[in-house]
Structure formats: C-alpha cells, structure tokens
C-alpha cells in the first residue's frame, strides 16, 4: 500500500500552521507543537528537512522562531511532501536519479509506474498551501 507517512502529513500541518500565523512574525516551535499536537522532538526533525530545502527560515533570539520563505501560494504540496518523504516515486526504480534497473529497456510495467508518478506529481503540484487555506483546511 502506498502511503504518505506521518512525517509528510505533519510537514503539511506545520506549513499550514506557519501560513495561518504568517502575519504574526516568526512562530515558536513550541507554539506549533502545541497547536498541532506534534512532539517537539519529532517537529525538530521535520523542521530540519524543511530548513534544508529552504521551505522555512529559522530566526534566533527571544522573538525568534520559524517563518515561511515564500507566499503560501508558492508552495506546491508536491514540493513539501517530497521534502518530507524523500521523494514520492511509487516504485524504487523511479526514485533513483538515473534509472539503473537492469531490465529497464524490457520492463513492461515501467510505463504504468511512470504514469502513476506523473498523476501524483501533477495533482499535488496543482495544490498549494494557499489552496488548503482557501478551502478552510484545519487538519491534513
């Protein structure tokens, strides 16, 4: 069964939370953790991924916290989920930078997996954090 893990779902919830509180300046990790019911330790590991891919910015100090690096409409869900999940390819051979599968040329199923991957990417790329905000999303 293909599933988005809790890490991916929580990454979306964190990004939504930041977007909802974007006008309040940097948001403390503790505040997000409490609102989203995610342990601070698990949040830190997700935030590290989001920071690495420049999806959020960290500000230090007494008034520090996290904030978005772009407007909510500039965050496709595909990008956020790919960051959190380490990719969204439905099969291992598509997850590699170059498909090094020894039977690639004769594989009769690869078009199915490529098509599925395209459908997933197209769908999630067409949705943004702003889309969810506009739909009144409170939990993902």
The domain locations on the chain are 6-87+128-134
Mean pLDDT of the chain: 91
What pTM, to 2 d.p., does this model score? Answer: 0.90
Q: What is the pLDDT of residue 100?
A: 72
Provide the CATH number for the domain formed by 6-87+128-134 in this structure.
1.10.10.10
Tell me: pLDDT of 8 over 80.
yes
d(CA 104, CA 93): 9
Model confidence at 77, pLDDT cuts 50, 70, 90, reads very high
d(CA 42, CA 16): 17
Neighbours of 56 (CB within 10 A): 24
Model confidence at 138, pLDDT cuts 50, 70, 90, reads low
Neighbours of 104 (CB within 10 A): 11
Question: Tens of pLDDT along 43-74?
Answer: 999 999 999 999 999 998 888 899 999 999 99
**Chain mean position to CA 12:** 6
Question: Tens of pLDDT along 81-133?
Answer: 999 999 998 888 887 766 577 887 788 998 999 999 999 999 999 999 999 99
């Amino acid at each position: 069964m293909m599933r988005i893990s809790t890490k991916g779902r929580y990454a979306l919830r964190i990004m939504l939370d930041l977007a909802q509180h974007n006008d309040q300046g940097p948001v403390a990790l503790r505040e997000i953790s409490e609102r989203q019911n995610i342990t601070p330790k698990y949040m830190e590991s997700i935030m590290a991924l989001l920071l690495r891919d420049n999806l959020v910015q960290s500000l230090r100090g007494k008034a520090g916290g996290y904030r978005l690096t772009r407007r909510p409409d500039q965050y496709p869900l595909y990008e956020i989920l790919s960051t959190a999940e380490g990719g969204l390819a439905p099969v291992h051979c598509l997850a590699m930078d170059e498909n090094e599968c020894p039977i690639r040329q004769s594989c009769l199923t690869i078009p199915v997996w490529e098509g599925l991957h395209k459908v997933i990417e197209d769908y999630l790329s067409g949705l943004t954090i702003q889309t969810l905000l506009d739909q009144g999303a409170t939990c993902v």
